[in-house]
Every structure is written in C-alpha cells, then in structure tokens.
Amino acid sequence: MHRCAVGGAALGLLLLATPARAQDATALPTFSLERLDPNPGLGPIALGNGELLAPGVLRISLMAHYQHSSLQIPNGLLEPSLVLSRTTALVSMAVGVLPWLELHAQLPGVIHQSGADLSTSLSIASPSRSGLGAPRIAARLGLLGTSAHDAFHLAVDLDMRLPVGGSGAFARDRGVRGQGRVMMGKRWGAVAPALALGVLLRRSVSGSSVDRINGVGNELRAGAGVTVGYALRAEVSALGAYSWR
C-alpha cells in the first residue's frame, strides 16, 4: 500500500509539471515576415516599372507565393526554422484615376505555415498556422512617361499597411508600416527592364527573443527585373534589402 501511494504521488507531480513546462514558451513579438510586395499595376509582378494604367482602367489580380525557411532562429551551430514553409495569397486591385495617378489596394492572407517546434529547446512558441495579413493601400504618381509603347517611365509609389489582421501569424506589424519607392522602366521591343529603389519604415521590435533575429526593422530596398513578351511573358526579378533598427 505504501508503494502504491508513493507511485501515485509521483505520477501526480509529473502530470502537474508537464503543463507548466509548456507554458514557459512565449511567442515572438508581432511583426510582418513578408518580403515580397507584389505589384498590382503594370510592369513586373515583383516590382513596378513606372508605367501607369490609363484613366478608368481597372485591374484585379489574385496570386499566391511560397516561401521556404523564411524565419531561422540561431541556436549555436544550428539554425532551426521556426517558419519552414509559408504560403501566402493576395487579392489586389489597381485603378487608373488620372494620367499621372494610379491607386492600389491589396489584402494578403497566410494560407498555411509550419516549422520546427522550438517550445522546449528555445522556449519560443510556434506561430499561428494561418491568418489575415495587413491591408495595403497605395498611390502611384507618374513623373515621366507617355502612352507611347517605347516611352521611358518614371514614377513614385507611396504605400501604407494598416496594423490589422492576425497578430500570431507574422502577417502584420505592430503599427502602421509605410514604404516609398522610385521605379523606372523602358521597353525595347518585347524586352522590358525595370528598376526600383525604396525605403521601408516600420516600428522595430525588441526583446530577448528578438535579439536572435536579424532584419526586424526599417529597410533600404532595391530591385531589378526584366520581362520578355507581352500578354504571355517570361519574367526574372531580383530583390535585396538592408535592415537596421
């Protein structure tokens, strides 16, 4: 009888200790993990080329993109991926208002994401599997360019993302996020190169767990791309960013 009582007490302590251990894991602060800002207007999908829609023209697009190993957490010699796979869908709209003004709206959402369980090794809770992203509104102002097919286009793009949406899916920032870009492009026959330079301003995040992560703050961004073809076309783009807090 005495042995059974001791065994029952040990089992009870074990059951009580298990939930307490799981509660030690804390979630990372809210921030957006998205690196791609798809272009709702004319030009390459990954960046604009300065060309604007004609007044009264409406363009609606639906797309999805996949990221692999988009959030790694350094842990000694290992860098496990808290977010290993991530699929995001976006609904975008662009409308030409004036010959020099184009307006955009975009709504993203994380369809599914998964990664390593770091709740025990690093006490970091896993993010939500899915969630609604931060809505984006933007205005594109044309500085140079005409309706001519081979004209040189230059435009300024100003956008803002609102701090609403799922906070646990790395789909939005804690505050309003703003971005300004200068984009340019020109077409030579079926070949159309494009270039974009910009700055992203957002509230940086801090905390002991965030010190393991690089690049959660403001960013200087640059991108270049080229399309070949017209309605059916091939496209190659490269994007880069320098981040500081």
Structure tokens, 99: 């010959």
- Express each pLDDT in 154-198 by its tens digit: 999 999 999 988 778 899 888 899 999 999 999 998 999 999 999
Q: Give the pLDDT mean for 141-163.
A: 89
Inside any domain, residue 6? no
Cα 54 from Cα 99, distance rounded (Å)? 6
pLDDT reading at 224 higher than 90: yes
pTM over 0.85: no
Assess if residue 16 is contained within a domain.
no
**Which residue type does 181 have?**
R
- Average the pLDDT over 187-211 and give the result: 83
pLDDT in tens, 8-50: 444 344 444 444 444 577 888 888 888 888 999 998 999 999 9
Is residue 81 domain-resident? yes
- Structural domains in the chain (count): 1
Contact 94, 41 (CB under 8 A): yes
Beta bridge partners of 33: none
The share of the chain scoring above pLDDT 90, in percent, equals 51
Residue 9 placed within a domain: no
The phi and psi torsions of 236 (rounded to 5 degrees) equal -130, 130
User: Could you list the residue range(s) of the whole structural domain that residue 119 is in?
Assistant: 26-244
Which amino acid does the sequence have at 157? Answer: D
195 within some domain: yes
Residue 11 covered by a domain = no
Taking the C-alpha atoms of residue 114 and residue 123, their distance in angstroms, rounded to an integer, is 17
- Closest CA relative to residue 202, chosen from 183, 184, 221, 222: 221
pLDDT of residue 61: 94
* pLDDT beyond 90 at 139: yes
8 located within any domain: no
Q: Which residues contact 226 (CB under 8 A, 6 or more apart)?
A: 44, 191, 192, 193, 194, 235, 236, 237
Mean pLDDT of 90-113: 96
Tens digit of pLDDT for each residue in 82-96?
999 999 999 999 999
Q: Distance (Å, rounded) from C-alpha 36 to C-alpha 67?
A: 10
The set of residues, in sequence order, having a beta carbon less than 8 Å from that of 74 and lying 6+ positions away, is: 212
For every residue of the chain, DSSP letters joined together read -HHHHHHHHHHHHHHHHHHHHHHT-BPPPP---------SSSS-SSS--S--PPTT-EEEEEEEEEEEEEEE--BTTB--EEEEEEEEEEEEEEEEEETTEEEEEEEEEEEEEE----TTTT-BPPPPS-EE---EEEEEEEEE--SSTT--EEEEEEEEE-S-S-TTTT-S-SS-EEEEEEEEE--BTTEEEEEEEEEEE-----STTGGG-S--SEEEEEEEEEEEESSSEEEEEEEEEEEE-
